[in-house]
């Protein structure tokens, strides 16, 4: 009688493990489908981050909190890092123009190149 109970418990545990395994497999497939990002999704996320940055800037200004002044180059640390490597100059120019709306391509290119030359 004891072995019958033990066998029944063992079978129940196997059944539970199988159900849990199936649910985990389904969830992992669902999650992987959810997190496949397309270019449009990435652009939307980038836009949302910029909007959040604007709101954060407004909140900081309202509270009277000042962030440290930008580096003497006038470039953000991210753009400086990108501009330091000649292989990422195009990305640096694009990022600089995103951060400084209204700046033309020629002006941004000149700024990145001048920074690169000053660091050599």
CA 12 – CA 21 distance, rounded (Å): 14
Reading the block at residue 117, the tokens are 């030359």
Question: For all residues of the chain together, what is the average pLDDT?
Answer: 77
Q: Write down the pTM of the prediction.
A: 0.43
- 14-73 tens-digit pLDDT: 666 666 666 666 665 655 555 566 777 777 887 888 888 888 888 888 888 887 765 678
88: nearest Cα among 105, 70, 113: 113
């Amino acid at each position: 009688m004891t072995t019958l109970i033990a066998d029944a418990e063992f079978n129940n545990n196997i059944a539970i493990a199988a159900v849990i395994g199936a649910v985990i497999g389904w969830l992992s497939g669902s999650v992987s489908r959810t997190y496949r990002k397309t270019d449009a999704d990435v652009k939307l996320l980038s836009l949302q981050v910029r909007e959040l940055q604007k709101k954060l800037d407004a909140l900081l200004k309202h509270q009277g909190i000042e962030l440290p002044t930008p580096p003497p180059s006038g470039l953000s640390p991210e753009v400086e890092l990108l501009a330091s490597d000649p292989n990422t100059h195009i990305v640096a120019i694009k990022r600089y123009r995103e951060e400084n709306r209204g700046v033309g391509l020629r002006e941004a290119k000149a700024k990145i190149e001048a920074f690169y030359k000053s660091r050599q």
